[in-house]
Amino acid sequence: MAKPTTSLRTYALTRLALVLPMLWILLTLVFFMMRVAPGDPVTAALGGRLPEKELQERRHAAGYDKPLIVQYVDYLGDVARLNFGTTITDDRPVTDVIIENGSATLELTFWAMVVALSVGIGLGLVAGRLRDSGADVSIRMFGIVVYAMPAFFLGFLAQLLFGERLGWLPTSGRASPEVQFLLPTHTHLYLIDAIIYGDWATFKDVVLHLILPAATLGLIIAGVLIRLVRVNVLQTMKGDYIEAARARGIDEKSVVYRHAFKNALVPVVTVLGLQVALLMSGAVLTETTFNWPGIGFELVRYLNNRDYIAVQGIITFFALIVIFVSVLIDFVNAWIDPRVRY
């Protein structure tokens, strides 16, 4: 048995080495998927709107007159330097899109995760603890219905109820137009910007705009979490150490809270990593529903404008995020569960 510190480091290094082939495959898939379809991206986006000579120049500037293999190598090189290209339709570096709109997505998904974790873990623990009771059956049903609910439908209902009927909450955008205009941006995270700005009315406006989108996306993800936590509680409650704890005369309350729940939550971390795919897909729908100017919202806009460079850049960025999160989750796992570091 090696010392834990050494083996954690070895594990980390092995894991990092495995990232490279996965990264290469994802990038290759993205590149060829985006190149199989159109004749060339410049014509697809701007064809008929600019004179042929200018199209030619743009094609040359973007390197589309080079052989495919050269373009491929250029692409990999650009990604390595974190250069995702410049959009064709509005001449914006994709990096800017990622920073400006990506931070809107970050703000949304962060608070959605807060909602999802509190609702999902809370209800999941209750359901697992009270197996087959009325509470368990209703919580399970709730989980299934929430999972079956498309983000845009939940968003529609929320807009109808809290926006139109009750008039409590705004249903569109990240802030009111005048607030958006006046708020100086430092981080592009409006909540933090509002705190730096130090104006209560601005802060309140930003918070109010955040509630419905974050709750919508959060509840959708909570559906999966409920089920996961419930199953894990059921499994841990069957464990030998639970029986042993009971046999030692520890009262049921602390068996459940100190022994069972803690262990039931460990596998949740792993699956949480897989939820990133769900989170990103849900974010695209939630952003479109609430006009939230996030990166998913921008992606849909660029798709509609047939801007292949923008789409390729954004998809590449998503691929990097997917890989980053999977590595992160593995590290967290290895850190809390020594059995993982083989």
Contact positions vs other proteins (CB under 8 A): 21-22, 25-26, 29, 33-34, 36-38, 44, 132, 137, 144-145, 147-150, 152-153, 155-157, 159-160, 163-165, 171, 276-278, 280-281, 284-285, 288-289, 299-300, 303-304, 306, 311, 315, 318-319, 322-323, 326
Nearer to other proteins, 8 or 323 (CB): 323
**CB of residue 150 to other proteins, shortest distance in Å:** 5
CB of 273 to other proteins, least distance (A): 9
Beta carbon nearer to other proteins, 207 or 278: 278
CA 69 to chain CA centroid, nearest Å: 32
Q: What's the closest the beta carbon of residue 127 comes to other proteins, in angstroms?
A: 12
Which of 228, 255 has the CB closer to other proteins? 228
202 vs 288 by CB, closer to other proteins? 288
Q: How far is the CB of 329 from other proteins (least distance, A)?
A: 11
Could you give the C-alpha distances from 45 to 17, 57, 59, 317, in angstroms and in order?
Answer: 38, 14, 11, 21
Q: Which is nearer to other proteins, 36 or 69 (CB)?
A: 36
- The nearest distance, CB 132 to other proteins, in angstroms, is 6
Q: Please tell me the distance from the alpha carbon of residue 46 to that of residue 234, in angstroms, as a whole number.
A: 58
Two tokens, residue 64: 């589309």
Please, what is the minimum distance in Å from the beta carbon of residue 331 to other proteins?
16
- The full 3-state SS of 248-277, as one line of letters, equals CCCCHHHHHHHHHHHHHHHHHHHHHHHHHH
* Residue 304 Cβ vs other proteins, minimum distance, rounded to whole Å: 7
By beta-carbon proximity to other proteins, the closer residue of 175 and 255 is: 175
For the record, the structure tokens of 275 come out as 């939820």
46 class by beta-carbon count within 10 Å (0-12 exposed, 13-18 middle, 19+ buried):
middle
Q: Indicate the residue among 12 and 323 with the shorter CB distance to other proteins.
A: 323
How far apart, in Å, do the first and last CA atoms of the chain sit?
10
CB neighbour class for 321 (10 Å; exposed up to 12, middle 13-18, buried from 19): middle
Which own/partner contact pairs does 37-40 have at CB distance under 8 Å and 24+ positions apart? 38/308, 40/64
Measured from the CB atom, is 122 or 273 closer to other proteins? 273
Residue 116 CB, nearest approach to other proteins (Å): 16
Give the C-alpha separation, 317 to 290, whole Å.
Answer: 23
Tokens of 61: 């500037």
Spatial distance between the Cα atoms of 140 and 279, rounded to a whole number of angstroms: 21
Nearer to other proteins, 255 or 296 (CB): 296
What residue type is assigned to position 175 of the chain?
Answer: A
CA 110 to chain centre: 8
Q: Which amino acid is at 121?
A: I
Q: Are 205 and 179 in contact (CB under 8 A)?
A: yes
- Rounded CA-CA distance 118/116 in Å is 6
Q: For residues 59 and 42, is the Cβ–Cβ distance under 8 A?
A: yes
* Least Å from the CB of residue 53 to other proteins: 25
